[in-house]
Every structure is written in structure tokens, then in C-alpha cells.
Amino acid sequence: MTTVLNPSSPDAGAHGVAQSRGLFDREILGQALKDSLRKLDPRWQVRNPVMFVVLVGSIITLIESFAHPSTFTWSITVWLFLTVIFANFAEAMAEGRGKAQADTLRKMRSETEARRLRADGTEELVAAALLQKGDLVVCEANDLIPSDGEIIEGIASVDESAITGESAPVIRESGGDRSAVTGGTKVLSDRIVVRITAERGHTFIDRMISLVEGANRQKTPNEIALTILLAVLTVVFIPVVVTLEPFAGFSGATVSVVVLVALLVCLIPTTIGALLSAIGIAGMDRLVQRNVLAMSGRAVEAAGDVQTLLLDKTGTITLGNRMAANFFPVHGHSEQEVADVAQLASLADETPEGRSVVVLAKENFGIRERELDPSHVFVPFTASTRMSGLDMGNRSIRKGASESVKKWVTDQGGNVPTDLDEIVEKISRAGSTPLTVADGSTILGVIELKDVVKQGIKVKFDEMRKMGIRTVMITGDNPLTAAAIAQEAGVDDFLAEATPEAKMALIKKEQEGGKLVAMTGDGTNDAPALAQADVGVAMNTGTTAAKEAGNMVDLDSNPTKLIDIVEIGKQLLITRGSLTTFSIANDIAKYFAIIPALFAVSYPQLKALNIMHLHSPQSAVLSAVIFNALVIIALIPLALRGVRFRAANSAAILRRNVWIYGVGGVIIPFAFIKLIDLILVQLHAY
């Protein structure tokens, strides 16, 4: 059937803004260490209820340490402070990566001068900072575009590598869907007049900086819900620990305040509490690494919830252009003949379709490209003739829509072969486009132009299906063609002859059924649909309207990335859920370490609960506290990278994570607390 080619642009992930840094870049590490001390400020800590309780607890033990100094109380105090610092460190690490990216962007937003057009058409030089919305500026070759705007006059090639990392220049021109320019990009040739569309401080780069820095990062809905759950699990353990003192006192037993604080800190979900904001920041960061800018964390989360993906056929499912795939001769002619004439007709045709005809003829039939004589006249395709071709003196050859070519041939007195319609219909039915080839008054055959489905796309759709996500292909093609491509690409459904209204209606219908919808778009007429969709990814090449309507911008303008975005959204939630489970499951081992130690003096019989056979009450408590602190550090890489995500159905993902983080979370601390205890004994600490 179809030839499957490699995707046109490989993922341009590692350029530009998204310069990826190692997980523990030295520069970031140093800054993070400083920040983690700065963040000990209680005003900062209070935002995180779990860690705030730890901070208060460590202050209590600090006071106790001064009142009743001993190695034990001091050790506990130090480790409790370290727990808070480790949590700060995790957050600072995640922020640090964003800050580094922001610095790169800031350098780019250099202070430039703009050539503003006065009303009378003369130019004046003003600082870019003084530009107002609506001002007109002139940019010529080698000028930096001073701010975001829209080209109202002219055409230019622009180097956007500062933003996209893509070094090839792009063409920007007034009118249509390619008129938007971004401040900080560089004009390489020609002259354009740009109308400024953004105030200072609200340009695209400004938004990017604040996004990657997480300056005004707001908690996402699931993050808020999880914070509430963690607060609940923290609040419930406060009376548990506080009442232990009177409970024990009733039977004449005594408990130490330091051990009670240690117990509280070990019971509240410090692991997830410490890593929660780092996970969120890192999730945004992972998107930036893929050159996608999410305007809000909410959008990233919504991406994980998406149940319907609307994908444009062209560029997402198929390569941008149709390619010649076959030559079908009519009765009495050979394939070779068709190929020969078809190639001749296409020699001067610079469209990708035309090029593909030349290439196919060369590859399959060894017909070399011929030099064109200056006397040969290329007849370009127009909407009215619906044909293109070549006039070589008396000889005229044409390729084009079947009906038009038939009329052209009969007008010259030629005949239409009887089997032509049959061939044309067969090609149409397969979802391809037929181009009839004629040499003078003789019809030779038909070229089959096929949409080329991107390699590997079917596998992606299968994965989506496994995750319960429905894929819908959007195309302007007729239903017949659409159905054929849909089947080949393996999408679940298609919307043929799509208009912006039909797209909008489809999104609304899906949403009324309770589904979340994601789509990509670039044109101004996509804007309403992008705004309506729960996740609207605008292409960076698209119009300002589209970029403003969507809640994400893909700097690479690669619509296939929608699938990656969904995976990142899911990974973000999975990481949170798994670490929450792990954190809670850890409590069991800590109980068995601390409870027997707590009442070791009053109720030595509770030693039976010391199933880990920890050396002494003090080493047991300290081991649990040390484990509790170190596990935060140990999990930072996981929090920043996200837990491994494999496309599978929910049951399989859940089973895997429950085993690793739930059951593992119960077992692992037993082993490590015992290990830390052994080390403490070896060090003769106790």
C-alpha cells in the first residue's frame, strides 16, 4: 500500500531554551544548597504544613537539647533540622534547573533599540522598553525584533533559534497564519514593518521566564487535593503523639519529649511532603526540556486526564505532503510510458508532490531527470484549470484532476480511454489522490498520490488506546479518503471535511460527555477550538491568536508532541501518587522501631515488638529518624525525573506501582532502619 517514510523532523529536544543540564549540575547544586538554608524561614515553611510541623518539632527538640544535653538529644535535633533542609534542598534543586533556563532567556532579552515609525512615516530610535502596544516598528536584516508583534508589511526570513533552538530560519510574512514574530528573534533578510502586540513585561519571553522560574507557580488542582490529604495525615498524628504522654502517665510510665517529637516526624508523611513541590516544578521542567511551554500547571495535569486527542491529519498523522506512489497506465500504454511523461510534466513543478513524481520515476524506472530547455514553458497549477504541465513547442503535456484533463483532451479531439474512470475511482477509494497524465490528445495513465503516514505513529496510537485515550483524526479530506487514512494510521475515529465549526462542535460534544479533550492548532481559525479544548497546544509557527488561545505552546511546532505531553501529565500524577503511597507505607516499620523504644523503661515487655532487634531504644529512634531524613535525599532524583512511565492500561500501571511503592514501601524501611542501626553500633555511637 503506502510507503512509510521517516518523520520529517526528529525531535529537536536538546537545543535552545531546553538546554538540558545533568540532574546534579554543579552550579545548580551550589545554589540549591544555599537556598535550602534560606528556606528555613518559618514564613516560607508555613506554606507546607507537613514540613512546618517538622520545623516546629526540631525547635522543640533544640530547646530540650539545651535543657537536657546528651548525644542522643543533639543527634535527634540535628537530624530533624536536616530533614527540613533536605526538603528545602529538593525544592531548590527543582527550582534551580528552571532558574538556569531563565537566565539563558534573560541574556537573550537584551536591551535593544527599536526603529519606531512616526505617523508621518519617518523613523525615530527609541529604547525597546518604551514601546507601546500598537506602535509600528521597522526591522531590517540583522535587527533584533524588539518585542512581540505582527507583521503588517513585508516578508522576511527570521532566525528564531533563540527560542526554538531550531537553527534553520523561518519565513514570516504579513497576512495569513505566518505573520506573528517574537521579541528577541533576529531578522536575517529583507525589511518588515511590525505592529507591537505586547506590553513590556508581558512578551512571550517574559512569560517564558516567569514560567520556567516558577515565580508565580500556583498549586495545581491535584496538588491542592494532595496537600489537603497530607495535612489530614499530619493533623491526625498530632493528637496521637500528644496524648501518648497522658496515656503513659496514667499507668505511671514516662516518655521523653524528644522521642515523642521523633515519633511524630516519622509518622507524618514527610517523604512526599518534602518532595511534593519539587515533583510539580520538575514536571513543568520536563515539558520545557521537550520545548513545550505550558501556561499553567493546571494544563499539564489536565493533559494526564485527557480522554480524547484531536489530531490534525497533516503534519501529525501523515507527513506534510502527498507523495507519488504508483503509476497506473490505461489500456494500451505501459507503466514506463506514464512514468516518463509524468516526470517530464513535473520537471519544472517545484511543489513537493511534483518533486515526488520525479523521484518515483527515477527510482522505479531509472528515468533520469532531463535538463529543461529555456524554450519550454511551465504551466503552473491554478484553481481554475486544476492542471499543471509543460509546453514544449507543439507538444503539450499535462497532469491534473481527472475531469479537467479529460475535458482538455476531448477539446483537442482526443478520446477518453474506457478504463480511465475505473482506475481513478479505485485510487480514490483507497484514500489516495489520482492525477491523470495526458500527452497532447492522448491520456496515458494516472499517478497515485498518497498520504504518507508517519512511521511509528500506529504504535503510538495503540499505546494511547491501552491508556484509554481515543484518538480522532481531523482532516479537510472527503470521508472516503479520510476513512482510508484513519484505518491505516490506526486512529479510533475521524472528522472529515472538518471546518472550524465542526471541530468546535466535536470538542463540545466530547466535553459534555465528561471527557477532557486535547488538540493542536496553529491558525487563527483554530483559536476558538484551542480555547475550548482542555489542553490546547498552539504551534510556535502559528498566529498570535492561536498562541493566546491555547494553554501550551510547542516551540518545535511538532503536533505529534501532544502524545508526549499526555505522557508527561500522567507521569507527574503517578510520581505524586506513588511517593505518597511509599511515604505512608513507611510508617509501619517506623512504628516497630519507635514504640518499643518509647516505653522501654516502663514496659520492657514491649520489647517483643522490637522485631528488627534494634540495638538499643536510643539507636532505634535515631535510626528511624535518620532513615526518614535520608529517604528524602535518596528520592530526589526520582522526584525530578518522575517515576518510569510505560503506556499500559490502568490496572497494569496500578499493580506495578502498588507493588513497588506500596509493598516496597512497607519492606524497604525495615531493612534500612536495621542497617542504619548496625552502622550506629559499629560507630560506637550507642
Partner 1 sequence: MGFFFTIVALIVLLGFTWRYLGSYMEAVFDGRVHWLGWLERPIYRALHTSPEQEQTWKRYAGAMIVFSAVSLVFTYVILRIQGSLPLNPQHMGGVGSALSFNTASSFVTNTNWQNYGGETTMSYFSQIGALTVQQFVTPAVGIAVAIVVVRGFSRRNSPTIGNFWVDITRCMLYVLLPIAFLFGIIFVAQGAVETLAGTVSIRDALNGVTQTIPRGPIGFMESIKQLGTNGGGFLDTNSATTFENPTGLTNFLSIYLLLSIPFALTYTFGKMVGSVRHGVALLSVMVLLFGVWVGFTSYAEHQNNPAVAAAGIHSTVGNTEGKEVRFGDTSTALFGVSSTMTSTGSADASYDSFTPMGGFGLLTGMMLGEVTPGGTGSGLYTLLIYAVIAVFIGGLMIGRTPEYLGKKIQAREVKLAGLGALVMPIAVLIFTGIAVSIAAGKAGPLNGGPHGFSEILYALTSQGNNNGSAFGGLTGNTPFYNIIGAIDMLIGRFGIMIPVLALGGALAEKNVVPESLGTFRTDNGMFVGLTIGVILIIGGLTFFPAISLGPIVEQLSHGRFF
Among residues 299 and 549, whose Cβ is nearest to partner 1?
299
Residue in 289, 219, 267 with CA at minimum distance from that of residue 642: 289
Among residues 138 and 654, whose Cβ is nearest to partner 1?
654
Residue/partner pairs of 398-403 with CB below 8 Å, 24 or more apart: 398/345, 398/437, 398/438, 399/342, 399/345, 399/346, 399/357, 399/435, 399/436, 399/437, 399/438, 399/447, 400/435, 400/436, 401/435, 401/436, 402/434, 402/436, 402/446
Among residues 125 and 608, whose Cβ is nearest to partner 1?
608
What is the three-class DSSP state of 202?
coil
Strands (E), 442-533: 442-453, 470-474, 493-495, 517-521
Strands (E), 545-613: 552-554
Catalytic residue at 312?
yes
Among residues 74 and 603, whose Cβ is nearest to partner 1?
603
Among residues 385 and 511, whose Cβ is nearest to partner 1?
511
Distance of alpha carbon 151 from its chain centroid, rounded? 29
Work out the burial of residue 42: count CB atoms within 10 Å of its CB; fewer than 13 is exposed, 13-18 middle, 19 or more buried: exposed
Q: Give me the least distance between CB of 279 and partner 1, in Å please.
A: 11
The DSSP symbol for 368 reads P
Q: Give me the least distance between CB of 87 and partner 1, in Å please.
A: 20
Q: Give me the least distance between CB of 473 and partner 1, in Å please.
A: 18
Looking at 206, 285, 305, 312, which residue is catalytic? 312
Residues 6+ apart with CB under 8 A from 499: none
Q: How far apart are the first and last CA of the chain?
A: 76
Q: Give me the least distance between CB of 537 and partner 1, in Å please.
A: 19
> Would you tell me how many other CB atoms lie within 10 Å of the CB of residue 644?
12
Q: Give me the least distance between CB of 581 and partner 1, in Å please.
A: 6
> Which residue in this structure is represented by grid cell 516497630?
592
DSSP 143-159: PBP-S-EEEEEEEEEEE
DSSP 598-614: HTTTT-GGGGGG-TT--
Q: Are 324 and 338 in contact (CB under 8 A)?
A: no
Return phi, psi of residue 174, to 5°: -70, 155
Report the run of H or E that residue 125 belongs to, with start and end.
Answer: strand 123-127
Q: Are 284 and 412 in contact (CB under 8 A)?
A: no
Q: Give me the least distance between CB of 649 and partner 1, in Å please.
A: 5
Residues 6+ apart with CB under 8 A from 651: none
Q: Give me the least distance between CB of 556 and partner 1, in Å please.
A: 24
What is the three-class DSSP state of 240?
helix
Cα(82)–Cα(60) distance, rounded to whole angstroms?
15
Among residues 627 and 661, whose Cβ is nearest to partner 1?
661
Among residues 226 and 443, whose Cβ is nearest to partner 1?
226
Instruction: Put residue 82 in one of left, alpha, beta given phi > 0 → left and psi -120 to 50 → alpha.
Output: alpha
Cα(21)–Cα(183) distance, rounded to whole angstroms?
25
What is the three-class DSSP state of 70?
coil
Q: Give me the least distance between CB of 572 and partner 1, in Å please.
A: 8
Among residues 216 and 251, whose Cβ is nearest to partner 1?
251
Q: Give me the least distance between CB of 579 and partner 1, in Å please.
A: 10
Among residues 292 and 574, whose Cβ is nearest to partner 1?
574
Among residues 480 and 588, whose Cβ is nearest to partner 1?
588
> Would you tell me how many other CB atoms lie within 10 Å of the CB of residue 228?
11
Q: Give me the least distance between CB of 221 and partner 1, in Å please.
A: 6
Catalytic residues: 312
